[in-house]
Structure formats: structure tokens, C-alpha cells
């Protein structure tokens, strides 16, 4: 990587882009709606059940100038979802400002393990036990989404719920490989605690990206 490109990555004017694609949001509050997804490489949270482990090593994904990313996004949708990997490993302010200047709404899916950067219209916080969110992100979270692998994750979810605002939408989502055992746990918990809602990875059922 030349020095100019490295400087752009450091400042957030280029990002290690794993993939970008137009599809239907499959999870959480905005499920069923069209959006352009930007998947940024780099993550050290290390969830053992992660279904995009190829995103972890940022060096495998080409640094791409945000002008090129924005130009592609504006061809498809008025909503962009930035995901990863863990996108907050990078400075998201230049990307989000450029997208919003084009009238594009900015959404992020993050573990919150890194300091928040960027200007967001919607923040989906998906906390992980291995690297807990930074304290400051809870008050900005529009959506709390906890992945349920086993019963212990329900206790973790309740602890996380104590830190978000009263208007935050809260979801329990089964880890895909354990969905048959996790779904009954989620159903029972939601019935007993109706502040929560159940979320499914509907894009996997629909067999779309």
C-alpha cells in the first residue's frame, strides 16, 4: 500500500472494503426493506460463531476510496447499512458525511467495542461478551440486538438492556447454527419479557445475500 493510500485509510477517506451489495435487510427493525450494504474488513472481536470470519483480516480486503463507495451506493438506494467485520475500527465520519451529503440515510451494525465515529441515522448495537461495548454508545443505540447461542445469552441480554434508552428497540436473535434450540428459548423469554422482540435472519430463509 502506497503512503497516500495508507494516509487515506488512517483518516477514513479510504476503507478496507470486503464487499458492497444491494439487497433486502434481513434482520431487526428494518427487516424487509431495501438497502445498500457496505461490509468493511477488520474485526478482532472474534465471535466463534461468526458467519463472515473472512472479514476479520483487514489486509485481505482492498483499501477503497470512499468517493468510489458513495458513487456506487447512490446508484442503488437511499439507505446504506455499514457492517463488518467491525466498522468502528475505522474512522466512519468521512464516509457518513459523504453519504448524507447525497441524501442517503446511514445505518450501522456494530458491536460497539470501539469508540463511535460517524453521523448515523440508525445505530444497531449488537454487543458481544468477549469485547463489551464502550459505555458511550448505549445512549445512541436505536436498536439492541443480542445473538442467542444458549440460555446464558438471555442473562447477558438483560444486563445489556439496562444500559440502553427506554426508546431503544430490543431484539433477541438466534445464532443461525443453533436456531432450532435457541428459538424456543427466545420465544419463551419474549412472552415473559415483552419489552423484547424476536428477530430472525430472514435473508437466509429467503436465500439472498
85-136, pLDDT tens digit by residue?
Answer: 999 999 999 999 999 999 999 999 999 999 999 999 999 999 999 999 999 9
Domain 3-206, CATH 3.20.20.70 — does that match? yes
Can you tell me the distance from the alpha carbon of 18 to that of 58, in angstroms, rounded to the nearest whole number?
8
Q: Which three cell numbers stand for residue 176?
A: 443461525
What three-state secondary structure class fits 42?
A: coil
Over residues 151-160, the pLDDT tens digits come to: 999 999 999 9
> CB–CB of 154/191 below 8 Å?
no
Look up cell 477488520; give the residue.
42
The sign of the dihedral angle between the CA atoms of 62, 67, 73, 79 is: positive
**What DSSP string runs through 144-179?**
EEEEESSTHHHHHHHHHHTTS-TT-EEEEEE-GGGH
Over residues 164-176, the pLDDT tens digits come to: 999 999 999 999 9
Can you tell me the distance from the alpha carbon of 15 to that of 6, in angstroms, rounded to the nearest whole number?
10
Task: Enumerate the domain spans of the chain.
Answer: 3-206
Residue with the bigger pLDDT between 177 and 1: it is 177
Q: Which three cell numbers stand for residue 72?
A: 456506487
Kindly report the number of other CB atoms within 10 A of residue 148's CB atom.
Answer: 25
Amino acid at each position: 500500500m502506497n503512503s497516500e493510500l495508507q494516509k487515506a485509510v488512517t483518516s477514513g477517506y479510504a476503507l478496507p472494503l470486503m464487499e458492497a451489495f444491494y439487497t433486502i435487510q434481513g434482520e431487526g427493525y428494518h427487516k424487509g426493506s431495501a438497502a445498500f450494504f457496505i461490509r468493511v474488513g477488520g474485526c478482532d472481536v472474534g465471535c466463534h460463531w461468526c458467519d463472515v470470519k473472512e472479514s476479520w483480516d483487514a489486509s485481505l480486503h482492498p483499501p477503497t476510496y470512499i468517493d468510489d463507495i458513495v458513487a456506487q451506493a447512490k446508484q442503488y438506494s437511499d439507505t446504506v447499512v455499514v457492517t463488518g467485520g467491525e466498522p468502528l475500527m475505522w474512522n466512519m465520519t468521512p464516509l457518513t458525511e459523504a453519504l448524507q451529503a447525497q441524501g442517503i440515510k446511514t445505518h450501522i451494525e456494530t458491536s460497539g467495542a470501539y469508540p463511535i465515529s460517524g453521523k448515523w441515522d440508525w445505530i444497531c448495537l449488537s454487543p458481544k461478551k468477549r469485547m463489551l461495548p464502550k459505555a458511550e454508545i448505549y445512549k445512541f443505540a436505536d436498536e439492541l440486538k443480542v445473538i442467542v447461542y444458549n440460555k446464558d445469552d438471555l442473562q447477558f441480554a438483560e444486563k445489556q438492556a439496562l444500559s440502553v434508552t427506554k426508546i431503544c428497540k430490543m431484539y433477541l436473535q438466534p445464532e443461525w447454527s443453533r436456531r432450532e434450540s435457541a428459538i424456543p428459548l427466545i420465544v419463551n423469554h419474549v412472552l415473559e419479557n415483552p419489552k423484547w422482540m424476536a428477530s430472525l435472519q430472514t435473508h437466509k430463509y429467503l436465500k439472498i445475500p
